[in-house]
């Protein structure tokens, strides 16, 4: 468990550095559940709200991908 926490901490440090240089913590495979905390780091609240609005437009009943980021 200690090694897991160390790895998680290192990944967070790397992600912050990558985003500060204009990069992304994820690419063509999407953000995923494990990297969800990095979404705000990459985009900020306003852009995440826009994503949430788009999802509501295309899936107003919230039937697709239930239990994920934008519920």
pLDDT digits (tens, 9 = 90+) for 10-61: 999 999 999 999 998 887 777 777 788 888 888 889 998 999 899 899 999 9
| pLDDT of 35 | 81
The pLDDT of residue 70: 66
DSSP 8-state code for residue 26: -
As a whole number of angstroms, the distance between CA 50 and CA 29 comes to: 20
Query: Is the pTM higher than 0.75?
Result: no
What single DSSP character describes residue 29?
T
Instruction: Delimit the domains of the chain by residue range.
Output: 2-58
């Amino acid at each position: 468990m200690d090694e897991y926490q160390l790895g998680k901490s290192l990944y967070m440090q790397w992600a912050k550095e990558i985003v500060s240089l204009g990069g992304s913590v994820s690419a063509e495979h999407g953000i995923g559940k494990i990297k969800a905390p990095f979404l705000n780091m990459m985009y900020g609240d306003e852009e995440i709200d826009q994503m949430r609005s788009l999802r509501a437009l295309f899936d107003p009943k919230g039937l697709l991908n239930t239990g994920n980021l934008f519920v």
